[in-house]
Structure 1
Amino acid sequence: MPDTDSPAGDFARFWQYANRVWNHPTARDRLLHWQDTFGVDVMLLLYALWFPALLAPGHWHQLQAEARAWQDSRTQRIRALRRRLRTPERTSLYRAVLDLELRCEHLEGQLLHARARRLPHITAFPIDHRQRLDRLFPEVPKDERKALLETLQDAANDAGPGTMDRTP
């Protein structure tokens, strides 16, 4: 298990990474496209790309199943409600539900982080992000996976700190 001083032990580092990516407009658009077109769990995707250690494929699939259960029972329900509320007369209610959706995503990230830290992993080898995407999201076309990695590289080069605030 990583200690709390290691990158794998610090949730705040993951959340900072997620915010930087989310605040990059091209990356955000691509992530929303993956979510809406391919049913990809963006929080799991970001966590998989951030987690700085090797996990066995079965462990990633275990995390994926836990993330799916969280999404199905919480986040997707709130997201569906938020999308139905998007009308001018419901602006404040929409915003409140949007904040609740973001809180659900934050909690999912914490869940993934807590679970991943307890799994056996190796930190001595470089991470192959392409391979992680291929294993976790085979339903997404290869050219989409490649484009996402390029976009995230641009986001990493451009990004500064910020908050993960979804633009309605």
Structure 2
Amino acid sequence: MDSSAPRSPADQPRLRRHRDRHGRGLRGPLAPPQVPISLTRSELFDDYVRESVERLERRWPQLVDVEFAVQEVPAPGEEEDGEEGGVPLGRLVPADQGRKSRIVIYRRPVEIRAKSRDDRAALVHEILIEQVADLLGLSPDAIDPRYDEE
């Protein structure tokens, strides 16, 4: 047999095609990255804190010098500080020797208490109002007049 002769399709080695199941194309993301559904729970929580801090900073410019942070859960020694022996939702760390004041929000305890996104955002804002009120020595109503409104 002459090796230069064209081969019939039956004589050619079978090339394996890599296809996805059912030939529908590769799977893509469920939603584009800029859509809120594609954010993780912690990223969404960070957004709640960021939006609330921005609202408070517009009304209280002195908060620019305060650090805001999110932690998953309180450290073991911080649990005693919780109201009525429970787990705290936030904490104020006063300024100390060259360090700025710091307000910490604990993500997991907040998520456990508030099931919906709207409730979570409202609870984050309420916690921040209470911590800012403690920092500035004012009542929560003075920080945000809509504090007790539901």
TM-score range, shorter chain: 0.3 to 0.5
Pick the structure with more strand per residue. 2
Q: Which fold has the larger relative contact order, with Cα–Cα distance below 8 Å and residues 6 or more apart in sequence? A: 1
Normalized against structure 1, the TM-score is what? Answer: 0.31
